Structure 1
Amino acid sequence: MTAADNTVRRVTRRRANTRARLLDAAFTVFAAKGFGRVSIEEVCEAAGFSRGAFYSNFATLDELFFALYQERADLIAEQVAEALDADGSGLDVPASVDRVTEVLLLDVDWLLVKTDFLVHAARDPEVARTLLDHRARLRDAIAERLARAGVRDVGTAAHAVVAAYDGVTVQLLLDRDVTAARTWLAQLLTALLTDGGGAPERVV
């Protein structure tokens, strides 16, 4: 490997580290103050960087948020994929639902940030379209895994899974009861993935 190659690798690592620190700092500040109440300067101060470092990685706070969103969407898709990993004998709904609800991301700070941004996006059609695109990619990833697990009508099922997750997280924001949220989510997913059998006990 040449000296130039080593230099490129060091620059790439440094840039990746800067980006990661900005994302971590932004998440902390967004969760504490609310997405619409945070400036680029505050994110930079929390991360220990200049505005130049910010603009070398992100054009706007919206773009930074979408990077955060994609990280968590990828995590959720991965969690669902692992939980629905078929063993060749078809989907074992109770076992799969138990695995999903045991590990699925239910973080109150993230839900606060996501909800703030949802309100922001609802007032800006361009941002709303971008957020819809990101949500569609998450649904597609879930649908792909459901198809591999043998679920019929995966498009509808993926929409229903995301809607169930959204509904549970709204309740979680209000009562902060993660254990109850996981229990209720399990009831909803079991009903959805077994053709609606077994009505959930909890109602928002």
Structure 2
Amino acid sequence: MPARAVLGYLLAVLPLIATPGASFTLLVQRVARHGRRQALPVVLGTATGLYVHAALAALGLSALVMRSGTAFAALRLGGAAYLVGLGLWSWYRAGGRPAAAPRRLPWAVRSTYAQALLGNVLNPKAASIFLTLLPQFVDPHRALAPQVLVLATAQVALVGAWLLAWTAVVARAAEAFAAGRAKALLHRVSAAVLVALGLRTAVG
């Protein structure tokens, strides 16, 4: 695949990547409260979500969902409900309240990786990238799947680099605000952002 096509695609998605979303909010929340190591599951979950969207786009399933008003609405509302629920749970946990039985909580709530994965998979705007931007950089005379894989991998690398760069910034900021109350406040702010992102997704 021509390098200029890959570079052009990365330049096209860069403004979207740089716009704070669920993955960025989760990164800030987890790294500020639990340290740099929590960045890895956020990055891996986000990367997996992108590959899921890429695979669905290559199979043509994403196009079917986007064209079906009912299916698209279900995806949008499902993603919105997940983000709102995750935000409310994070707000509750910010107070330092111990969960009654943390191991009994659903994996999608307990796992940072799952939160990043579902936050991405259930995001219709992430799916739309592979249906609107990506086709503009694909050669119709060549096999589709390998080209989608190359572009998706390039996007994953860019997203990973972006999130890891912010990890260093957030970790240093967390050290400056080492007090428990300051971290709890940051946790609540990020929880409120998740709720806001969910509400924005719900209204389209």
Q: Tell me the TM-score normalized by structure 1.
A: 0.32
Larger Rg: 1
Bigger proportion of residues as helix: 2
The structure with higher relative contact order (CA 8 Å, sep 6+) is: 2
